[in-house]
Amino acid sequence: MGILNVTPDSFSDGGSFVSKGEMIKHVRQMISAGADIIDVGGESSRPFANPVSLEEELNRVLPAIETIRSEYSIPISIDTTKADVARLAVEAGADIINDISALRFDPEMASVVKYSGCPLVVMHMQGTPGDMQVAPTYSDIVTESIDFFKERISWLAVKGIPKNLLILDPGIGFGKTLQHNLTILNHLDAYRSLGCPLLVGHSRKSFIGKILADETADREIGTAAISSFLVYQHTAIIRVHDVAKNMQAIKAAQAIMAA
């Protein structure tokens, strides 16, 4: 999954793809490098990010989705917590709804997902982007996040959203410390008991800088190293910024596993 942030304030590439020309150039590069899905986001979910209005988010994501769909048949994911954004994005050509709130922020989102019939990414997060990194605390991060997913799966079934449409994202960096993130990555097999594909979004996140003991470091090599580990863990969807570099790591890991 290649990331397309059409935002001015995302933690890694904010402002880079706001213009139509730069946006479609980046999309072409990601598809050429081997992306299978393009994930379009119009509201930053970095720690302490400020929310944006519905109108502003729509103005960012709809032209991007329409432009991509006019040129490519590649699946498009809409990264949003707003039901109206998800609904209009699907009408514009999006195929997947990616909600970091796991449908907890907007009471209308369940209806949009149900009637669209789209696959849904359900993410675990403690708190909100505005406060999630203040003091994240767990007794057992793996058990507690799995319990969270069990509750969400049951709740979604009541809302008419079947389990076979769900993709689970343990939420690396969303209300987690370095140790929480590493523990999740080392125990991804535990999440398979839930019977849904897994998505992991680790790309360029601050915990990689902490691993390297260098917050200013280029995190792309660290990102690619984790991507190769995720292949070994049979992760269904690997969400990254630099598709080309991560595909090198992924192909190398796949070749070893196939030998």
DSSP string, the chain: -EEEE--S--TTTTTTT-SHHHHHHHHHHHHHHT-S-EEEESS--STTPPP--HHHHHHHHHHHHHHHHHH--S-EEEE-S-HHHHHHHHHHT--EEEETTTT-S-TTHHHHHHHHT--EEEE--SS-TTTTTS----S-HHHHHHHHHHHHHHHHHHTT--GGGEEEE--TTSS--HHHHHHHHHTHHHHGGG-S-BEEE-TT-HHHHHHHT-TTS--HHHHHHHHHHHHHTT-SEEEBS-HHHHHHHHHHHHHHHH-
Which residues are bridge partners to 237 per DSSP? 199
**Residue from 87, 176, 204, 239 carrying the catalytic annotation:** 239
**Residue from 82, 204, 205, 219 carrying the catalytic annotation:** 205
Active site residue 219: no
- 97 with 113: CB under 8 angstroms? yes
| Cα R_g (the chain), whole angstroms | 17
Residues in contact with 40: Cβ distance below 8 Å, sequence separation at least 6, in sequence order:
4, 6, 61, 64, 65, 68, 76, 77, 78, 79, 89, 94
Active site residue 239: yes
Catalytic residues: 205, 239
